[in-house]
Structure 1
């Protein structure tokens, strides 16, 4: 096995089992590994440190897999990690009210660059590293053995594949092409989702618990669901007896699917107003029209893809939340989220404080949100904690 030598003084993160080694921490490579090959990482004295995927195209040159030198990184190793991850989601899938969840969450499940989401009898995967790409035949076979899915569809269209020298692809890996509409159940609510054409892998199951929490306040309330996508917060609010819900998203396809989902659950269509529009523009229009709500949900896309973008993203989050606060009745609730890993909770609270100051509002933080158990955070990889949110009472 080809050896990669770590620079002296760069051992701490590896010893703490952080799975990333950046290219600047590498002294030299003893040979010419192909991108995606498993290599042995050694320290400056030649002592073993870990095994990992190598890629000279990526800023993260090594994605570490195993710290025990006696363990062989082979097909069975990868099958074991897949089986462990699937077994860890058993409680979610056996609760009788949910048949969709994240089965494999990349580094947090010790499979760096692999995302697998279950949608009823279908699986959607995203392959984001060259090492996982090489191991996909055995991974697909293990998923078939464990779950016997109707289809496994590759949604590897993320821009991060470019950093690994990989092309994007949307293809069937096993079984039949998933149908245009796949019906899933989450929290007892039915959704039609489009795996092949939908955003990300087709659905955002990371907000499952948070939708229930926000909906618990919605009875008799006038709710505004921004960046609604196919209606997660909208449908949960309706189920909890909201007086009305206004759903805003820039995607016409998402709004059309949301309307289908309202009908699918036999909810009162007269309680739902859907608007296909840029959210920030629509919030300003609501402000101009004097529209007010009891609950405002803000679940925007990732504004800060990296730490270098954090300052710009903070300004965007501040302006968005300022607008949201201005649309609330006195004592109303703002449920606001960030899915940017670079934005930690402390910074997010500060952004909300700035937004409140600009809006001339007083804000109480009454609850904090995080990602659910099928999106675990590995103790040695805090970067896996990307989703955070706050429930705010605004005066």
Structure 2
């Protein structure tokens, strides 16, 4: 068409003509996928679902998928493209044919354009992300002379959904909760072994979660490695004996900054630590100058570690005592004696692992907090915690606390709100990564 001919056309037609003549943007991921001799399957999203993942949400639920293009269909753990309704790739990730998480997105199209060496290449991406996670911890001052227990990789927070790595001294404990993590076990271990100071790796698959991921439990029989069953670490200058066969990865590094805060307000105070595990809050209180500390837990192995930690830190066993009792029973009996403490810490285990049990768990949290408030001296401090993701994400923990105050006949004010320590980053596009609530109250 000549310029003279175009001049007589309405402007809207000229605009349409220009748009149709313009070449469509080339997808970096599509180009790389096209060059793959094996081919790369494409997971096409339903209309209206694309923006959520463009904003960074890493979990593609099966309900968001419209169709899958590729023959044969992709297998669990394989790399796939994730595309919008027009079949234009928006990113790539790892597929799972069984899990409710159909794809765990690893890299978006825009990132692939900037970092094409990692595009559709899980080994290179793993190396890049683990190096980035290590650099972040160094920026946070971890490890240090005073602290060598910390989280190196925090799943979605470090953009490696399903992978958690905690470091205790020279031992890295890997918590695996995704099928792809098991598939890339050898590569993950190789990159972790390159991190300065790590000499051993302890692999701890989350069997129940991996079963939901469709893995045959027989596949999870890992070859035994020469790793110690117990290690000694330091956190904020306090020494701890850690059992690598204990709960979670062996130690609750997420409470590090909250434990240290307790040490700053404990001088001259009587402190009660309910659900004390191996004595983290108790030891910080004693280290901060508390006149007496009582720790309560129902686990004998945990209390054996707590007793060992008294010795490791040269603390006076007359000033710090650990008791094996059920938390609720202990608090009821103490309340019947009208016994109170200046500072009470309540850090119960996960009571609401799923949304389905949140209502029942809320009642348990309310009852425990009401008892803890009754044991807090008038004008004293209660630090109450919930490590239940369902509770934290629902935003109902504060209402539970208000209900507990009414039940106990006490008035509370909020002094401090916190979550997990800074080496537990959270991706704002995946708020489900937030699980720990730590609220400090003044109780009147």
TM range, smaller chain: over 0.9
Q: Which residue of 2 aligns with 1:376?
A: 425
| 1:94 Cα deviation from its structure 2 partner | 4.7
Q: TM-score, normalised by structure 1?
A: 0.95
Q: Which moved more, 1:240-249 or 1:151-160?
A: 151-160
Q: Which residue of 1 aligns with 2:291?
A: 243
CA deviations on 1:35-83 (whole Å, 9 max, x unpaired) are 1112111122111122111112211111110102543232111111111
Distance 2:170 2:419 in 1: 27
Q: Alpha carbons of 1:229 and 1:2: their partners in 2 closer, same or farther (altered >3 Å)?
A: same
Of 50, 59, 74, the match for 1:20: 59
Q: Which residue of 2 aligns with 1:185?
A: 234
Structure having the higher strand fraction is 1
Q: Does structure 2 retain, via aligned residues, the 8 Å contact 1:153–1:171? A: no
Q: Which residue of 2 aligns with 1:342?
A: 390
- 1:94-243 equivalent positions in 2, closer than 5 A: 94-147=143-196, 149-166=198-215, 167=217, 171=222, 176-178=226-228, 180-195=229-244, 197-243=245-291
Distance 1:160 1:237 in 2: 36
Aligned residues: 392
Distance 2:207 2:388 in 1: 15
The SS at the match of 2:76 is: coil
The SS at the match of 1:316 is: helix
Distance 1:153 1:334 in 2: 36
Distance 1:113 1:381 in 2: 13
Unaligned runs of 5+ in 1: none
| 1:208 Cα deviation from its structure 2 partner | 0.3
CA deviations on 1:213-242 (whole Å, 9 max, x unpaired) are 122111111111111111100100000011
The SS at the match of 2:278 is: coil
Q: Which residue of 2 aligns with 1:279?
A: 327
Unaligned runs of 5+ in 2: 1-39
Q: Does structure 1 retain, via aligned residues, the 8 Å contact 2:94–2:180? A: yes
Of 365, 388, 391, the match for 2:440: 391
Q: Alpha carbons of 1:378 and 1:134: their partners in 2 closer, same or farther (altered >3 Å)?
A: same
| 1:29 Cα deviation from its structure 2 partner | 1.9
| 1:171 Cα deviation from its structure 2 partner | 5.0
The SS at the match of 1:269 is: coil
Q: Which residue of 1 aligns with 2:306?
A: 258
The SS at the match of 2:424 is: coil
| 1:148 Cα deviation from its structure 2 partner | 5.4
Distance 2:207 2:271 in 1: 32
Q: Which moved more, 1:79-88 or 1:303-312?
A: 303-312
Q: Does structure 2 retain, via aligned residues, the 8 Å contact 1:304–1:310? A: yes
Q: Does structure 1 retain, via aligned residues, the 8 Å contact 2:193–2:199? A: no
CA deviations on 1:284-335 (whole Å, 9 max, x unpaired) are 1212233211111011111222222222221111111001001111111110
| 1:150 Cα deviation from its structure 2 partner | 2.2
